[in-house]
Amino acid sequence: MLAFIIRRVGQSLLVLLIVGLVAFSMFNFVGDPIDNMLGQERTAEDIARLREQLGLDRSFFVQYFRFLQEALQGNFGVSYRQGRPVTDILLERAPATLELAAVSGVLAILFGIALGVFTAIRRDGIWAHAIMSASLIGVSLPTFLIGILLIYVFSVELGWLPSFGRGDVVTVGGWKTGFLTESGLKALILPSITLGLYQMTLIMRLVRSEMLEVLRQDYIRFARARGLRDRAVNFRHALKNTMVPVITVIGLQLGAIIAFAIITETVFQWPGVGLLFINAIQFVDIPVMAAYLMLISVMFVGINLAVDILYFFIDPRLRADRTGGH
């Protein structure tokens, strides 16, 4: 088991090194930062000074080594567009994205599991059929259209909820939160539904199919034969056993939520990391792009690693398989 963990950690580090190389190559081959930072009226001295300031006059290897060194310390240089350290900008924007992702994740998990169980238990009911058909349309709808639709209904027509921004925020120990003000909470509703909807349908369909599978098993029949109530059978016996694959998918979807936040943040002009990334692409702001790439890779690789290792603890069968094979 230890060998497996070590190998998986090694693979993860290798992936991160490759991503790091991609990020660094972006610095080297994409665009000319000098072009981006200085306006039309620049002098040769301006250019030379800036080149030296940014370290662009050094050799490839020196720059790569410095990049790795700095990246390990969480330093990704200065944004070409804003002229400020990228790490500062990212840290400033992270709370907005994390709060949005957390609320959407919780919504997706709660409603996804509840609806999944419901559609599995009442599989032939009218409501279950309606929910399943709606989820099919939900999967085909692009996220940004769902956002626009919600804005149209709840902001333009009804005027109940704000259509952009985070509302008022309160700073608690350096963390700007929107949870503590009324306008902040109101501003969270539409974006979190937009972001969570897709993951919700995914979780719902998974829970439903897993649950239907489990309900067919002998031990469920036996539990019913023992005269246990439906509630006890459905929740204590069936649901518990569907949770292993569901937890895996939920874990993997956590990363996806943060990545897909890019789209939702653009629709709602939510001042988070995703909107920053999109703006960075539009203006070819390489340091921000590279830092975002590294950040999200660490997250994805970390989550994958955690899920793989968790499997060992959750599912004993897997342990036997792997160790037996070596």
Site residues (vs other proteins, CB under 8 A): 15, 18, 26, 29-31, 137, 140-145, 148, 151-152, 156, 163, 256, 259-260, 262-263, 266-267, 277-278, 280-282, 284, 286, 289, 293, 296-297, 300-301, 304
Is residue 124 exposed (0-12), middle (13-18) or buried (19+ Cβ within 10 Å)? Answer: exposed
Phi and psi dihedrals of 172, rounded to 5?
-120, 105
By C-beta, is 156 or 320 nearer to other proteins? Answer: 156
CB of 108 to other proteins, least distance (A): 15
CB of 18 to other proteins, least distance (A): 7
Query: Nearest distance from residue 35's CB to other proteins, in Å?
Result: 8
The neighbour count for residue 281, using CB atoms within 10 Å, is 12
Min separation Cβ 203 and other proteins, Å = 16
Q: In angstroms, rounded to a whole number, what is the distance separating the alpha carbons of residues 219 and 162?
A: 50
Rg (CA), the chain: 24
Report helix, strand or coil for 30: coil
Q: Please tell me the total number of residues recorded for the chain in this structure.
A: 326
* Exposed / middle / buried, residue 262 (Cβ in 10 Å: 0-12, 13-18, 19+): buried
CA-based nearest residue to 280, from 80, 24, 56, 49: 80
Using the minimum distance from each CB to other proteins, give the nearer residue, 82 or 266.
266
User: Which of 82, 304 has the CB closer to other proteins?
Assistant: 304
- The tokens for 303 are 């989550």
Q: Judged by CB, which is closer to other proteins: 125, or 142?
A: 142
Task: State the minimum distance, in angstroms, from the CB of residue 15 to other proteins.
Answer: 5
Minimum separation from the CB atom of position 31 to other proteins (A)? 4
CA–CA gap between residue 206 and residue 75 (Å, rounded): 40
* Residue 91 vs 278, nearer CB to other proteins: 278
Cα 320 to Cα 240: distance, rounded to the nearest angstrom: 22
276: which 2 tokens? 């920053």
Q: Which is nearer to other proteins, 113 or 296 (CB)?
A: 296
